[in-house]
Amino acid sequence: MNILFIGDIFGSAGRRIVREHIGHVREAHNVDLTIANVENAAGGFGVTPAIAEEIFALGADVLTTGNHVWDKKELIDYLNSVPPQSAERPRRVLRPANFPLGSPGYGVYEGVTASGVDYAVIQLQGRVFMTPIDDPFRTADSFFASIRAKVIVVDFHAEATSEKAAMGWYLDGRVTAVLGTHTHVPTADERILPGGTAYQTDVGMSGPYDSIIGVEKDLVLHKFLTAMPGKFEAAKGNPKMCAALVACDPATGRATAIQRIALGE
């Protein structure tokens, strides 16, 4: 079974490059399950219902987000528009599971692929150099008693490499993959951990690389040079789709291979 995980889609340039490549990558690698992080898909800040629908229409099965999830407030009504048991698209947009109790939406989705394999996607967010929220490690533990699927993919949306590596080792042997998002730079450490979990510290952004992590360079430089507030705008230049391809045994959920991909224009 093959899983395609697309890193943070950033702005219109990110959506365009994903539109260009997602189809042929899914076909060439016989992808059974496609997951995309969309926390920056709407101009760099959050995701709207219309953009979520657009990315589902390209072939994504589950969308994950992160710290930018509430940037577009219309997303809240979209997430709330279906009951928890639903398999409709709004239920397949996740926010980090360790957000405070009572947050809108869900951090876990359990589904079935077209070929009949049960899977689960869990999203967690780190706490190092980020807004402190509930413990992502204990939150992960809390799901394993109830999830039936063997194939489990974790999007760990975190800033610190150490916290991400810790999560990889913590969940090794319990999930199919721990894939990092949020820092927007792909790391060259993809591997299969000894327990059979595919790991990559950060899958990288699917967006404009002539930028400072997605944002127009001049605007970020101005902020660093003057410490003045300013409006950030999504850059456009040099877009790449960064993703991880994970192969696994659907019977056990153990990963057998992980490959990093970066596709430009």
Binding Fe ion by CB under 5 A: which of 66, 90, 105, 107? Answer: 66
How deeply is 115 buried, as exposed, middle or buried, from its count of CB atoms within 10 A (0-12, 13-18, 19+)? exposed
68 is catalytic: yes
Q: Does 123 bind Fe ion (CB under 5 A)?
A: no
Residues 48, 79: Cα–Cα separation, whole Å: 11
Residues 131, 69: Cα–Cα separation, whole Å: 13
Given a contact cutoff of 8 angstroms between Cβ atoms, the answer to whether 79 and 93 are in contact is yes
Q: Does 163 bind Fe ion (CB under 5 A)?
A: no
Among the residue ranges 61-69, 86-94, 108-116, 138-146, the one whose residues contact Fe ion (CB under 5 A): 61-69
Given a contact cutoff of 8 angstroms between Cβ atoms, the answer to whether 151 and 175 are in contact is no
Residues 21, 29: Cα–Cα separation, whole Å: 12
Q: Does 8 bind Fe ion (CB under 5 A)?
A: yes
Q: Does 202 bind Fe ion (CB under 5 A)?
A: no
Q: Which of residues 181-200 bind Fe ion (CB under 5 A)?
A: 182
Taking the least distance from each CB to Fe ion, the nearer of 164 and 182 is: 182
Binding Fe ion by CB under 5 A: which of 67, 103, 176, 197? Answer: 67
Q: Which of residues 20-59 bind Fe ion (CB under 5 A)?
A: 39-40
Which among 21, 68, 157, 184 is annotated as catalytic? 68
Our measurement of the distance from residue 4's CA atom to the centroid of its chain's CA atoms, rounded to an integer in Å, reads 11
Q: Does 180 bind Fe ion (CB under 5 A)?
A: no
CB of 186 to Fe ion, least distance (A): 13
- State the Cα torsion 23-26-27-30 to the nearest 10°: -170
Given a contact cutoff of 8 angstroms between Cβ atoms, the answer to whether 1 and 247 are in contact is yes
CB of 35 to Fe ion, least distance (A): 14
| Interface ranges with Fe ion (CB under 5 A) | 8, 39-40, 66-67, 182
Residues serving a catalytic function are 68
